[in-house]
Amino acid sequence: MNPPNIILIIADDMGYGDFGIFNKQISCTPALDALVDDGIVLTQHYSAAPVCTPARAALMTGRYAHRTGSIDTLEARGLDRLRLDETTMADVLGGAGYVTGLVGKWHNGALDRRFHPRSRGFREFVGFQGGWNPYYRYRLDRNGSIEYGSRDRYLTDVFSDAAIDFIERHQREPFFLQLAYNAPHFPLEAPDAIARRYVEMGFSLGVSLLYAMIEVMDAGIGRISEKLDALGIADNTILIFTSDNGPALGDWNGFSQRRFNYELNGGKGNTYEGGIRVPLIIRWPHGLDGGARIGEMAHFTDWFPTLLSMAGVDMPADLAIDGVDVTPLLRGEDGGIYPQRFWQWNRYVPFGACNAAMRDGDWKLLRPVIKEAMEVSPQDTAHDNAIKYVPELYGDIVREPAPAQTVPSPPPSLLFNIADDPFERNDLAAQYPQKVAAMEAALERWFIDVTGI
């Protein structure tokens, strides 16, 4: 059998509750619902971080993001940059004969051509390098040529068209396409007619825009699936859908984004389940039996070794990764599962006692957010907004020292049993102090290992 094609679709800030099949058809997602029915759903699948930059770095390298340099979303400070000595999935697959392409959002290096996707293993790139982009008046990079959008074209449709074009041109050779939609990340913009339908159903304008953004993305995924069928390559194409982190549930420019999140606690930005537990659906008719739901734990770092294994590509011998090959899990076999996973994220310099978590089997330890470690200076906020529109004005990243943070003592850790309490309602820390102490020690060892701090 020929090597399988790989299409890795990543939504931006989307949760389980955004699928029609999981929310009693509140939202309209027929293509994703069909993928759920036909493929394998991992119900305990985790991003590597509650925000996009570190999550994407871990997905691309198979390594915890703290090791890679991509620790925060602040591209004007270069904190989004994937270190130049890191090896990406695209590097390895490209070296094994795959045609590699990235359509959509990168956010692992917004400035300096050395950090451009075409310098990180992707032969082709249609998208943007930073953290977000307007959906109509967008700035788009097509293999180095810059174009600007107007009200005539919606960016999500542009990305779907670019993905279909890539598939058509490379249908006779193995390809790896990462399709990184920026929907439903802000700014909240969608075709009026679709959004109006949700308003008429009684949803707020913010949620109506979000569901409309997801509906347009779903339609694009449906067109891609139809194209694979028409070209006769669907059966030997590994099609994966996931999200970089959980849904944003706060307010944006006066629009509320609060919506159904499958009753999970928390959302984007924190390490409760709602921030890091994300959908993962995989379909590969030639290699995997579909129609299954798997409850064992999997993690973003696992997809690097797993996809290489499925493609029959050897892992570079000198590459140290944190993920494991979960192909046996997907095939209903034993093996491949690592019981401990770790998360941590704050602004600027990592602070291990803030917004951190670990899973050890069914147990989850959580170190809550410390507000002072999550603040961004007004100057850095302004820089990061400006860079989305005129990155050419920035010859280099901001080199001044990061603003000083005065961080108080951290609050006590929380302890949950996810098997008994998947929605993290019952803190068991007081009942199991020895378990808390052991997991805190393991989390601290991990943090020292990945950061050297």
> Catalytic residue at 185?
no
* Residue reference for tokens 């451009």: 116
Buried b (16+ CB within 10 A) or exposed e, 64-76: bbbbbbbbbbbbb
Residue 105 β-bridge partners:
128
Cα gap 302→176, rounded to integer Å: 17
Q: What is the pLDDT of residues 39-93, one digit of tens each?
A: 999 999 999 999 999 999 999 999 999 999 999 999 999 999 999 999 999 999 9
Low-confidence ranges of the chain (pLDDT < 50): none
Instruction: Please tell me the number of Cα atoms within 13 Å of 291 on its side-chain side.
Output: 1
Q: Which of 28, 45, 66, 107 is catalytic?
A: 107
Cβ–Cβ < 8 Å for 345, 373: no
> Catalytic residue at 107?
yes
What is the predicted pLDDT for the residue at 252? Answer: 87
Taken in order of first residue, the domains within the chain and their CATH numbers are 5-338 (3.40.720.10), 342-451 (3.30.1120)
Classify residue 335 as exposed, middle or buried by CB count within 10 Å of its CB (0-12, 13-18, 19+): exposed
Cβ–Cβ < 8 Å for 102, 117: yes
What is the predicted pLDDT for the residue at 336? Answer: 57
Cα gap 360→341, rounded to integer Å: 7
Q: Which of 28, 45, 52, 66 is catalytic?
A: 52
Tally the residues of the chain: 453
Q: What is the pLDDT of residues 214-225, one digit of tens each?
A: 999 999 999 999
